[in-house]
Amino acid sequence: MLYRSDKYGNQISQLGYGCMRFTRKGSSLDYEKAEKELLLAIDRGINYLDSAYIYPGSEELVGRVLAENNCRDKVNLATKLPQYLIRSSKAIDRIFQEELSRLRTDHIDYYLMHMFTDLAEWENLQRFGIEDWIKARKADGSIRNIGFSYHGDSDMFMRILDAYDWDFCQIQYNYLDENSQAGRKGLEYAGQKGIPVVIMEPLRGGKLVNLPDKAKNIIASSGKDYSTAELGLRWLWNQPQIMCVLSGMNSPEMVEENCRIASDAAAGSFDSSDQAVVDQVKDFIRSREKVGCTGCRYCMPCPQGVDIPGNFHYYNLMYMEDEKKSAVRFEFARGMGLRKNPAFASQCIGCGKCEKHCPQHLPIREKLKEADKDLRPGLYKIGINIARKIMVR
């Protein structure tokens, strides 16, 4: 495992564990499976774990794993204040104390203001005394480093960077999103200010791993023997402004593979031929992708039961792979229409709740209409309605 320095010289594993996508078992997280994967990651040298207040069950699971295996002192814990829920100064401390309790710890190593999109959100926290609160928490040792995660444009990102003496920040960034959200412009500005950057969605929610065959063939023909994931991760670690790349690993094989890559992917090791492969893959994806959904599920649950990421996943597949195969998968393999409570895009009533929470700022309501039209043409709708009458009771 290679390590990079934070703002104060502390060594952070350049691969971090993103704790948003633990495997579920029924209505809960699969604790036994997640425990094995986390302990394997720690054993392989990962020392940065990233959770958040709103990730269901995540903080409790991480805290339990670290406590029951006596390994809190081996890792740096990162979690987040849901700034969009704050309505008073008391709420800040109440939520923070709840997070300490969930994580079974007396301090958070890297604490973030969650999901900024605008400077106004920081200014709102300032009205509730956030700067004095941070100063007090740093003084008593319950917070070691303060930062923010971000999902807006690059200009606003730089304004937020300038608004406070941040210790670090976190952005969505991958080779497909190089020039969207904070983007390369924001990354380089943070580097100029000496603010280390943590990367989320490095493989765009798995979309840069599960590429269409044509894109995989482009990578295979490069002669570098890179996997789809390896290409994306090495592209990121080539950039020295990046302190840590988060990966939501949910299998031992994924942990082993990513740790292997992180053991030798140093800044400056990605050459021009590697970049040429990335450029070709980007061009292919951009020419076919219909919706830039990462599957983060911040838009969920939908009040009407629409599986928004599921609809967009199959909509994109229609244009990246075989159209008819994707439509059949959507209807039957996924079971969207044969559940007791279906999840079709046509159930959307246009309330807009999803769009308020989408980090990508997607026009979800508009895109759901497009997806439903393509995924469920007239004959499919007739067929699924007949099937529902027969199979759904």
- Render pLDDT for 5-60 as a digit per residue (tens, 0 to 9): 999 999 999 999 999 999 999 999 999 999 999 999 999 999 999 999 999 999 99
The mean pLDDT value for 139-155 works out to 94
Give 207-258 pLDDT, tens digit per residue: 899 998 899 999 999 888 999 999 999 999 999 999 999 999 999 999 999 9
pLDDT of residue 136 exceeding 70: yes
Same domain (yes/no): 265, 387? no
317 inside domain: yes
Mean pLDDT for the stretch of residues 357-385? 78
pLDDT at position 224: 86
Task: Please give the tally of structural domains in the chain.
Answer: 2
pLDDT at residue 380, as a whole number:
53
Give me the pLDDT at residue 366, please: 95
Whether the CB-CB separation of 256 and 40 falls below 8 Å is answered with yes
Tell me phi and psi for residue 104, to 5 degrees. Answer: 55, 50
Confidence of residue 372 (pLDDT cuts 50, 70, 90): confident
Q: Cα(97)–Cα(106) distance, rounded to whole angstroms?
A: 9
Residues 370 and 262 in one domain: no
At residue 393, the pLDDT reads 45
Position 390 scores a pLDDT of 46
What lies within 8 Å, CB to CB, of 279 at 6+ separation is none
User: What span, in angstroms and rounded, lies between the C-alpha atoms of 319 and 315?
Assistant: 7
Residue 77 lies in a domain: yes
Segments forming the whole domain that contains residue 312:
308-391
- pLDDT (0 to 100) of residue 388: 47
Last residue of a domain, one of 286, 320, 350: 286
Judgement on whether residues 236 and 313 belong to the same structural domain of the protein = no
pTM: 0.80
Do both 193 and 315 map to the same domain? no
Contact between 171 and 186 (Cβ < 8 Å):
yes
The pLDDT tens digits for 160-169 are 999 999 999 9
